[in-house]
Structure 1
Amino acid sequence: MTPIRHNGSGSGSDNDHVLDAVRDCVLAVGVRRTTLADVARRAGVSRMTLYRRWPDLRSLVGDLMTREWIDVATRAMAEPAPGTATRTRIVDGLVAGVGAFRAHPLFRKIVDVDPELLLPYVLDRRGASQEALLALLADALREGHADGSVRPGHTERQARVLLLTVQSFALSLRTMTDEDDPELDSAALLGELRTLLERTLTP
Structure 2
Amino acid sequence: MTSLRHNGLLDSYLDAARACILDVGWRRTTLTEVARRAGVSRMTIYRAWSDMPQLLGDLMTREWRDVVAASHGKTLMESVLTTVQALRENELFMRIVELDPELLLPYLLNRRGRSQEGILVLVEQAIVDGQADGTIRRGNPRVIARALVLAAHGFVLSAHTMVDDDVTETDLETELRTLVERALAP
Cα distance in 1 for residues equivalent to 2:9 and 2:141: 36
Number of equivalences: 186
1:11, CA displacement in angstroms?
4.8
Query: Any residues of structure 2 matched to 1:11-160 within 5 Å, and which?
Result: 11-79=6-74, 89-160=75-146
Alpha-carbon RMSD: 1.4
Q: Once the two structures are aligned, what percentage of the paired residues are identical? A: 50
Corresponding position of 2:171: 188
Q: Aligned partner of 1:143: which letter? A: D
- Extract structure 1 runs of 4+ deviating beyond 4 A: none
Gaps of 5+ in 2: none
Is 1:197 the equivalent of 2:180? yes
Cα distance in 1 for residues equivalent to 2:2 and 2:148: 25
Secondary structure of 2:28 counterpart = coil
Cα distance in 2 for residues equivalent to 1:170 and 1:12: 30
1:76, CA displacement in angstroms?
1.8
What do residues 4-49 of structure 1 show as CA deviations (whole Å, max 9, x unaligned)?
x3348x6522211111010011001110111111100111222112
Corresponding position of 1:6: 2
Cα distance in 2 for residues equivalent to 1:185 and 1:91: 21
Moved more, 12-21 or 101-110: 12-21
1:74, CA displacement in angstroms?
1.5
Aligned partners of 1:7 and 1:53 also within 8 Å: no
What do residues 37-90 of structure 1 show as CA deviations (whole Å, max 9, x unaligned)?
1100111222112222212011101111111111111112335xxxxxxxxx11
More helix by share: 2
- The change in CA–CA distance for 1:190 and 1:11 in structure 2 (over 3 A counts) is closer
Gaps of 5+ in 1: 80-88
What do residues 124-177 of structure 1 show as CA deviations (whole Å, max 9, x unaligned)?
111111101101111111111111101111111111111001111101111111
Q: Which has the higher contact order (CA 8 A, sep 6+)?
A: 1
